[in-house]
Structure 1
Amino acid sequence: MNNLLVTGFEPFGGEAINPSWELARALNGEVVGGARVVAVQLPCVFGAALRRLDEALARVKPSVVLAIGQAGGRCDLSLERIAINVDDARIPDNAGAQPIDEPVVPGGPAAYFTTLPIKAMVAALRARGFPASVSQTAGTFVCNHLFYGLQHLLKDHRARSGFMHIPYLPEQAARHPGAPSLPLDTLLAATRVALEVALTSEEIRAGGGQLD
């Protein structure tokens, strides 16, 4: 049976939970599209997150990797198109590091594109009533750091890989008045759809332009 690697982050920025890990661990052990989900928690720490990811890739040998991160303020499942070779942290990571204008991989290319069929994934999610969009930026914090590192690690492999940002959970949004949120059950159902499409579908060209 093929493996699907799904990663989530530990809490950061003063939060007690991180929806990305709550989602990933809820999916752990499920079979989606004939492949088994293996969830791995990553530290919200520059460098350490990539080392843990590299270990997981060697152990799990996945056919698809979906890295997930929290994006407080976003209102949907955001499938990221591009990762850039820049660490530029607005706040310190969980180890106190705050790199400014540093490369993720010295000497690496300026950017990597996802190898997931993100427009097909967004189209399938919307067809089932889930809020979803293609995002053109994963930021410059640990999420982008991980996304770039993931694509760099798999650049010579056939595995599909990419990154998805998700909103707060409702219990977090209570601490952030006006911030959008999605229940875990909704995130679970939507991510199962996204993973199945990632396994089985080719990319589509959205009529009229972007699925934003």
Structure 2
Amino acid sequence: MDNSKRTVVVTGFGPFGEHTVNASWVAVQELKKLGLGSEVDLQVYEVPVEYQTVQSLVPSLWKQYHPLLVVHVGVSGMATTVTLEKCGRNSGYKGLDNSSFCPDSQCCIVGGPDCIDSVIDMESVCKRVTASGLGVAVTVSKDAGRYLCDFTYYTSLYLSHGRSAFIHVPPLGKPYSGEDLGRALKAIVQEILELRDHAGEKLHCQHHFH
């Protein structure tokens, strides 16, 4: 077993519109305080709400860290739960970003598939986190909203062949605090890593002699 630390990159978004404090970045900073244990090197990034920045930043995170996992976190004004997104969509990006820009093609990757699913079994992660009695409601969704969240997720899924996750959080105080959201992120990321390890064991079990 390789003892080098496993790197996990978690991103939150900066302010936009009425979200002058973005709950996603608050939650990610709380996660950073909690950490993911001594085995995991956790890197966090605040992502500006700009399509063009996302297009350059997301590939650079994958290149720089070769992470085991990248988890993007965003806020949704409509969410009342912590929501695990199953897939990212390529087209339909008409909303203007903080630079009043939107892609001419209204696409993430011209010619890319319409939809890319995460290889992570979000239903399992949701069930396991819910069963752990966290005190924060977790649900699963198939629509990340066709704005910067969805755009970032699709871009990351495309680059990583599905090895990314996206989590939507509600605005602060509706109903959860930043600390609550940080705890929820920690539980979710740990479940994803555990599921990933089990999947890996299945692949390698023929090499282990008990």
Q: TM-score when scaled to structure 2?
A: 0.83
Off by >4 Å, runs of 4+ in structure 1: none
**How far, CA to CA, are the matches of 1:196 and 1:7 in structure 2?**
16
Three-state SS of the structure 2 residue aligned to 1:28 is: helix
Identity of aligned residues (%): 23
Shift of 1:55: 1.4
Q: Which protein shows a greater Rg?
A: 2
Contact in 1 for aligned 2:6/2:68 (Cα 8 Å): yes
Three-state SS of the structure 1 residue aligned to 2:46 is: strand
Corresponding residue number in structure 1 for 2:54: 49
Shift of 1:35: 1.2
Corresponding residue number in structure 1 for 2:153: 147
One-letter amino acid of the structure 2 residue matched with residue 81 of structure 1? K
**How far, CA to CA, are the matches of 1:69 and 1:33 in structure 2?**
26
Corresponding residue number in structure 2 for 1:18: 22
> Which one has the bigger helix percentage?
2
| Residue range with higher mean Cα deviation, 71-80 or 127-136 | 127-136
**How far, CA to CA, are the matches of 1:72 and 1:100 in structure 2?**
26
Corresponding residue number in structure 1 for 2:181: 187
Matching of residue 105 in structure 1 with residue 118 in structure 2: no
- Residues 1:45 and 1:78: Cα distance change in structure 2 (over 3 Å): same
Corresponding residue number in structure 1 for 2:207: none
One-letter amino acid of the structure 2 residue matched with residue 200 of structure 1? E
**CA shift digits 1:108-159 (9 cap, x unpaired):** 111100122311211122112320111010011111100000011112xxx8
Corresponding residue number in structure 2 for 1:138: 144
Shift of 1:193: 0.8
Shift of 1:60: 1.9
Corresponding residue number in structure 2 for 1:166: 169
Where structure 1 has 5 or more consecutive residues not aligned to the other structure, the ranges are: 171-179, 204-212
Paired residues, number: 191
